[in-house]
Structure 1
Amino acid sequence: MTHQGKRVVITAGGAGIGACLVRRFLAEGARVTYCDLDPGDVPEGALGLAADVTDEAAMGAFLAAAEAQLGGVDILCANAGTGGPVAPLAEMDFAAWKTCLATNLDGAFLACRWAARLMAAQGSGAIVLTSSTSGQWGVPTRAPYVTAKWGILGLMKTLAMELGPKGVRVNAICPGAVEGERMERVLALEAAAKGVPVAAMRSLYAEGTSLRTWVTADDLADTVLFLTSAQGARISGQALAIDGHTERMT
């Protein structure tokens, strides 16, 4: 069990990638506290709480509860995000733009600010932020999401430099197209915006990678577990794409 006794905090752990991270960390012996708008069915051994990551007061209450429950933090997975609206920038709704950036960036900031203080004081820790392959490319009709995910990488690089001398490592994962309900919703929106069938959009995502494949939440969890383990002890400031090697975006 690679993470026996480790204190893990995860944002957006109620479904999708976050729920997989909760399950996998628990299987490796970690103690896990997570938040989500809807915590869902909380696995045995975890504490799941409702919190909106864009709400500073709500996040403050969640993080205080996590600290009280765990007695500190060894690993933070700042995983919360949303796909945001799909439209050409000239037609983009400003409120939808702001909501997308807030969910992806403000949530990461609030979680990382809290963890940075605790981890720096104890002289150890690992932070993994969830960016996206879209944080390494431009994607027409997805400007808010792309902007937010590029911003995650800037936050990660800066935080790695600030916390490295304190013994804290900070990295980001960049998922490609991840199988699950969230991407099915994104496919439907993109297909509608581009006037093509959903099946064609699904194929375009796979065909744009060298491995001609989508990825799974467990693929991502494998990388996160490695990055936060003793085997990843010298890896910091890196954006690791788990995407089958993207050659082109849709």
Structure 2
Amino acid sequence: MLDGTTAFVTGASGGIGRQIAYTLADHGATVACAARGDGIEETAAELGDDGIAVRTDVTDEDSVAAAIADTVDAFGGLDCLVNNAGVAGPTQPFDRLDPSDIQETVAVNVTGAATCAKHAADHLRASERGSVVNIGSIGGKLPYPNRVPYAVSKMGLIGLTRTLAYELGRDDVTVNTVLPGPVAGDRIEDVVAKQERLAEVEDAEPYAIGPDDFALPDYVVEAEEVAEQVAYLAGPHGRHVTAQEIGVDAGGTWY
């Protein structure tokens, strides 16, 4: 499905990003595994000749430009950008936040994605199947008490997606966002634990989502499900899907 294409996947050192890299490679893509921390070498090693590790800090434009240039040098072009790098931000009631908490979260989750798109754009335009897939969250559409920086950033990512879809669409580049619900793994466990500590330690009201918030009783999704949706959007059957937010969320979002 993705034979002959190259993808640049941020946040590929573990979790959803690593699974996206594996899945795109399984479908035939060569993959640049990008992240600022450890783990990308392991991800790339699993891909063999179909993967490279490119150290990337999405908050540093020079780092992004160099990483994308290295990807194009290694594979001859770039067809798909997957903006998966993200931070959870603090878990605190909004009136206990410092403005810098929001700025730091947005810097990675929104500005970082925009910076990657900026430096990938010309290569995507030159591709016959250019695509951008942003990894958002149902937190960009639902109230997320005690998670203002995260919710703000993920809603901002939706705005970025819709606007880039029109700016790049004239050159046949699609831009979409995938909205995962709670994804099985260490990260969701950490989020739940932080909410619980608000009540136990900090005398604040915790917030927890549960089965009543979703259409399906089994509402925790697997990283593989998110990755397969990315592969579809990057592939030939997704060429007329753009400017969309697609939930992989057990019916947690309804608009």
User: Could you state the TM-score of these two structures normalised by the residue count of structure 2?
Assistant: 0.89
Q: Does 1:242 align with 2:213?
A: no
Q: Are residues 122 and 25 of structure 1, via their aligned partners in 2, closer, same or farther at CA, if it must alter by over 3 Å? A: closer
1:10-21 aligned within 5 A: 10-21=9-20
Displacement of 1:202 in angstroms is 10
- In structure 2, C-alpha distance between the alignment counterparts of 1:19 and 1:165, rounded to whole Å: 31
Quote the residue 1:205 is aligned against.
210
Displacement of 1:195 in angstroms is 4.3
Give the conservation status (yes or no) of the 8 Å contact 2:179–2:245.
yes
- In structure 2, C-alpha distance between the alignment counterparts of 1:247 and 1:62, rounded to whole Å: 35
Quote the residue 1:76 is aligned against.
81
Quote the residue 2:225 is aligned against.
219
* RMSD, matched Cα: 2.0
Deviations 1:109-166 (A, max 9, x none): 1111112222224464011001110111121110000000000000000000111111
Which of 225, 228, 231 aligns to 2:234? It is 228
- In structure 1, C-alpha distance between the alignment counterparts of 2:135 and 2:193, rounded to whole Å: 22
Q: Does 1:153 align with 2:158?
A: yes
Displacement of 1:203 in angstroms is 7.5
Q: Partner letter of residue 208 of structure 1? A: D
- In structure 2, C-alpha distance between the alignment counterparts of 1:118 and 1:125, rounded to whole Å: 8
Deviations 1:81-103 (A, max 9, x none): 11100111110023332211111
Tell me whether 11-20 or 208-217 shows the greater mean CA deviation.
208-217
Quote the residue 1:63 is aligned against.
68
Tell me whether 107-116 or 169-178 shows the greater mean CA deviation.
107-116
Deviations 1:161-213 (A, max 9, x none): 111111111110011100111111111111212449xxxx8983344211122
1:71-220 aligned within 5 A: 71-122=76-127, 124-195=129-200, 204-212=209-217, 213-220=219-226
Deviations 1:8-42 (A, max 9, x none): 11111110010001111111111100211224113
- In structure 1, C-alpha distance between the alignment counterparts of 2:252 and 2:138, rounded to whole Å: 8
- In structure 2, C-alpha distance between the alignment counterparts of 1:223 and 1:122, rounded to whole Å: 20
Displacement of 1:227 in angstroms is 1.2
Q: Are residues 194 and 219 of structure 1, via their aligned partners in 2, closer, same or farther at CA, if it must alter by over 3 Å? A: farther
Displacement of 1:53 in angstroms is 1.2
Quote the residue 1:34 is aligned against.
33
1:35 aligned counterpart, secondary structure: strand
Give the conservation status (yes or no) of the 8 Å contact 2:33–2:54.
yes
- In structure 2, C-alpha distance between the alignment counterparts of 1:163 and 1:95, rounded to whole Å: 31
1:128 aligned counterpart, secondary structure: strand
Which of 50, 58, 67 aligns to 2:55? It is 50
Q: Partner letter of residue 33 of structure 1? A: A
1:204 aligned counterpart, secondary structure: coil
Structure 2 residue runs of 5 or longer lacking an equivalent are none
User: Could you state the TM-score of these two structures normalised by the residue count of structure 1?
Assistant: 0.91
Alignment size in residue pairs = 243
- In structure 2, C-alpha distance between the alignment counterparts of 1:39 and 1:30, rounded to whole Å: 23
Q: Are residues 226 and 121 of structure 1, via their aligned partners in 2, closer, same or farther at CA, if it must alter by over 3 Å? A: closer
Q: Partner letter of residue 222 of structure 2? A: T
